[in-house]
Structures are given as C-alpha cells and as structure tokens.
C-alpha cells in the first residue's frame, strides 16, 4: 500500500477528532493540544486499523502513549 501516513493522519484526526478543520497539523503537533478525548482517540485508532489493515498493540490503545502526531506516525510506519 502506497500511502502518505502523515497526510492520512491529518485527515483522520480532523475527521474523528474535536479539532478545528482548518488547523495545520504537523509531526510536532502535540496530541494534547487537539482536544482529542479517549472516545475520539479510539475512533481514530479503529479507522487507522481498518484502512491500513494493522492492529494496535494493547499497550498503545491510549492516547498518552503518543506525545505528538510524529510519534503516532512513527508507530504506524513501524507496524506497516
């Protein structure tokens, strides 16, 4: 699968998160700054799993495991 993970994460976070659609996201954007609650994060995880056909390890089902979008991106790249 040829996918730009960062662009995919931006679209997914804007779709399922509680962040403003016009905000610019990058690898250094802290997840805590995006007002993503635990339910929104699980929706994001489920969407990622379905689209990328991967499964998050149980230890990484909490938003607190990822400080920035770049951390999440790196985790996904390692899983792919």
* pLDDT grade for 48, boundaries at 50, 70 and 90: very high
For the segment 57-77, what is each residue's pLDDT rounded down to a tens digit?
998 888 888 999 999 999 999
* 63 vs 55 pLDDT, higher one: 55
Q: What is the C-alpha end-to-end distance of the chain, expressed in Å?
A: 9
State the DSSP H helix or E strand holding residue 38, giving kind and residue range, or none if neither.
Answer: helix 38-52
Which pLDDT score is estimated for 3?
Answer: 80
5-79: CATH number:
1.10.1200.10
pTM of the model: 0.83
Question: What residues does each domain of the chain span?
Answer: 5-79
């Amino acid at each position: 699968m040829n996918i730009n993970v960062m662009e995919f994460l931006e679209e997914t976070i804007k779709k399922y998160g509680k962040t403003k659609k016009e905000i610019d996201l990058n690898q250094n954007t802290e997840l805590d700054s995006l007002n993503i609650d635990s339910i929104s994060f699980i929706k994001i995880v489920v969407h990622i799993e379905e689209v990328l056909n991967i499964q998050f390890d149980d230890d990484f089902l909490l938003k607190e495991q990822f400080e920035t979008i770049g951390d999440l991106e790196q985790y996904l790249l390692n899983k792919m």
